[in-house]
Amino acid sequence: MIIAGIDLGSTAIKLALVADGQLLWHKAAPTAPGQEKIADNLLTEGLAAVGRSGETVVRAVTGYGKHLLVGADRVIDELTANRLGVCKASDGRARSLINIGGQDVKVIRLSAKGQMTGFKMNDKCAAGCGRFFEVAARILDTEVGSFATLAANAAEAARINSTCAVFAESEIVSLMAQGVVKENIIAGLHQSVARRIAGLCAGGALEDDIYLDGGAAQNPGLVHALEDELCRDLHVLPLPQFTVAYGAAISAAMADSAAAKNSS
Amino acid sequence: MNEPSRQQRLTIKTQGEARQEYAAAADWLRQRPDYHQVFDYFLEIAGQAWTAAEVSERTGRPVVQHLCNQAPLEIFHAMGLQPLRLASGCCAVSRLAEAGLPALMCPMLRSAIGAQRVQAQASRVLARVIPTTCDWTVKFQELAVALPNDLQKNSSSPPVHLLELPHQRHSERGQARFQEELFLLIDFLEQKIGRRLTRSALLTSVNLYREAWAVLESLIALRRDGRLAAAWFAAICAAFLFDSIERWLTAAQTLVSYLQNQKVRPAARSVFLCGSPIIFPNLKLLRLIEEAKMYVAADELCASERLWPGGMAVDDRSVSGLIRALAGRYHRACQCPTFADNERRFNSVRAVGLPLKGIIYHVLKGCHPFDIESLTMERMAREANIPFIRIETEYSPEDARTILTRLEAFANIDHGASA
């Protein structure tokens, strides 16, 4: 049986095709109107890519848009999907995870058995989230993908006081007007976001080993800044953007397995 | 005929939006599987914003507006007055108050001030009684008069009586002062109505409210065993705040009889809801808790279960004796977070005697006393190994999805697992 884990996030729609607990295929597309159609297209593309078009697929949906997908076989809350995905992908080593999503940051504490024992989330503003980097990238006219390289070449990180996406925008414009180079601004952005996330992790929210996921975890510059701010090492899984979609699929597989046990 | 000003047009538009907001909340309740016509009275009262004039006409009594839970309702009733709570859960009317008020203001009082602006009928309020609880409440009148009614030219604010609240309820001095305050309140009301409070009227009212408190206690017991959802309880409490006690009591007694014949439905994920008030039609958090598959089995919200001041012991049936007994319930037994000595509030969570999934602590942005006490409550919860989540929000629905994500995670968290 193929399970499609679909994470309808605020900035990207991620799809992971899973069979027998193994990830077969994955892809992301930017979130746009018509999320159901985008998810369907990803699914069709994925099934064709793995040569299993026409097979019955269980659709397990999570993310902010999870209720928008009509006819989903399973709807899973984001933190459960996230926990399962990271636990499975880390072979059960994860004891804490930090997910930097498009519009929020989640810090989840896990037991040795992978159960969620506590969590923290930022409030509704997009400060310190993926969207914040997108806003900064637009102002700096630079791809987010090149942030890490540029930050590595910074002579010194610019001080960015505001983590509010709106106020930071004017602060970045002001720094550019003062002639501060892009590299220093980006390094400053990483520090600023890392400080905010570290604030959320305060008060015993983290256990070792700590895993970082979400799209922003693909930015090594941010990972280094966060390690520096937390004074801890962070692990980043190979596909950090897909752990939630993967976890949704794992959750559906577990539910089906439990249902099969009960009926036998 | 003069064209309405821009402000008047906005006010009229807001009236319509407010009506829709109330109707939407009531319709949602009507469409629930646990709806029964026995709830219709509560939906009729809770499902719209009543003006003081309408309430006065419906109840046949002059209206006294009041804030908070500390002014004994029995006193108003005994003096032939209809208490009407100055409280609103309506988001739409808040915008009428936004321009002239502090940005980070208690959403409940901002909405209450906004609601005053859309009342088109001439005010028939005899007086306002304001217990000096939180800063927002103390400054309510000052803020309210800064924003005049747009639809009633030459409207004037009713006379205000500040019921001074000693913030140490366990001290004898505080209790004596509050009794004195109640006598001053009676003096004030006697001057307004032109007659004296009689012992027999007060005793009749005390006995009537005793019946009401007994019914409220029955309803609380019914929600403990899963037979009364929190959203219904909110509608029942709104009707209590905005209608005559006699009508409410009749409808509530019928409801209790109906619910007692329903099956007990023990909820797998029962939660205790604490914090800032939730007032109809602001059902946002209650709906999200249900959506996250949890059941509010108990609360200590001041416009909900805490409306019931607790059993009253009357050993002296003179006016002074009755006032002393009322003071004991409305001051010493009150768990408002504005009190300095409030251990009882934390103990009430422990005393609920239910297997709880956890405590959901609701903080309205700008509601400082509940915000401050959330820290103590969280610490207490940790010590007692009770899971705790703090939800800070306002009336606007824009953060609903984020809150739902957190509540779903809270519902699924494994609190038994060792971290």
Arithmetic mean of pLDDT, A134-150: 90
Contact A168, A192 (CB under 8 A): yes
Residue B369 binned pLDDT confidence (cut-offs 50, 70, 90):
very high
A103, with CB counted inside 10 A (0-12, 13-18, 19+), is: buried
Q: How far is A210 from chain B (nearest CA, A)?
A: 14
Half-sphere exposure of A234 (CA within 13 A, CB side): 29
For helices B230-242 and B284-291, the axis angle rounded to 10 degrees is 160
Chain A hits for B415, CB-CB cut-off 8 Å, are 117
Please give the distance of CA B265 from its chain centroid, rounded to a whole number.
26
Report DSSP state, residue B386: -
pLDDT over threshold 70, residue B371: yes
Residues of A in CB contact (< 8 Å) with B are 64, 77-80, 103-104, 106, 108-109, 111-113, 115-119, 121, 123-124, 207
Residue B150 has a pLDDT of: 63
Chain B hits for A79, CB-CB cut-off 8 Å, are 405, 408-409, 412
Instruction: Report d(CA B394, CA A178) in Å as an integer.
Output: 39
Tens of pLDDT, residue by residue over B185-243, are: 999 999 999 999 999 999 999 999 999 999 999 999 999 999 999 999 999 999 999 99
Q: What angle do CA A197, A199, A202 make, to 5 degrees?
A: 115
Residue B413 and residue A116: Cβ atoms within 8 Å? yes
Among positive and negative, which fits the CA dihedral B52, B54, B57, B60?
A: negative
pLDDT over threshold 70, residue B155: no
ipTM value greater than 0.85: no
Q: Which residue among B406, B411, B413 sits closest to A118, beta carbon to beta carbon?
A: B413
Arithmetic mean of pLDDT, B293-307: 94
Residue A1 binned pLDDT confidence (cut-offs 50, 70, 90):
confident
Residue A80 and residue B409: Cβ atoms within 8 Å? yes
Determine which of B390, B391, B399, B402 to mutate to test the interface with A (most A C-beta atoms within 10 Å).
Answer: B402
Residue B418 binned pLDDT confidence (cut-offs 50, 70, 90):
very low
Arithmetic mean of pLDDT, B343-363: 84
Determine which of A64, A84, A95, A123 to mutate to test the interface with B (most B C-beta atoms within 10 Å).
Answer: A123
Please give the distance of CA B410 from its chain centroid, rounded to a whole number.
26
Instruction: Report d(CA A29, CA A6) in Å as an integer.
Output: 11
pLDDT over threshold 80, residue A126: no
Between A131 and B195, the higher pLDDT residue? B195
End-to-end CA distance of chain A: give it in Å, rounded: 18
Between B187 and B146, the higher pLDDT residue? B187
pLDDT over threshold 50, residue B419: no
pLDDT over threshold 80, residue B417: no
Arithmetic mean of pLDDT, A246-262: 90
Tens of pLDDT, residue by residue over B91-142, are: 999 988 887 788 889 999 999 999 988 875 556 789 999 999 999 999 999 8
Residue A125 binned pLDDT confidence (cut-offs 50, 70, 90):
low
Bridge pairing between strands B82-85 and B63-66: parallel
Rounded to two decimals, the pTM is: 0.87
Domains of chain A as residue ranges with CATH: 1-90+240-264 (3.30.420.40), 95-236 (3.30.420.40)
Lowest mean pLDDT, pick from B175-179, B269-273, B310-314, B368-372: B310-314
Phi, then psi, of B385 in degrees rounded to 5 = 60, 35
pLDDT over threshold 50, residue A198: yes
Residue B265 has a pLDDT of: 83
Q: What percent of chain B has a predicted confidence (pLDDT) above 70?
A: 95
Residue A121 and residue B406: Cβ atoms within 8 Å? yes
Instruction: Report d(CA B167, CA B171) in Å as an integer.
Output: 9
Q: What percent of chain B has a predicted confidence (pLDDT) above 90?
A: 70
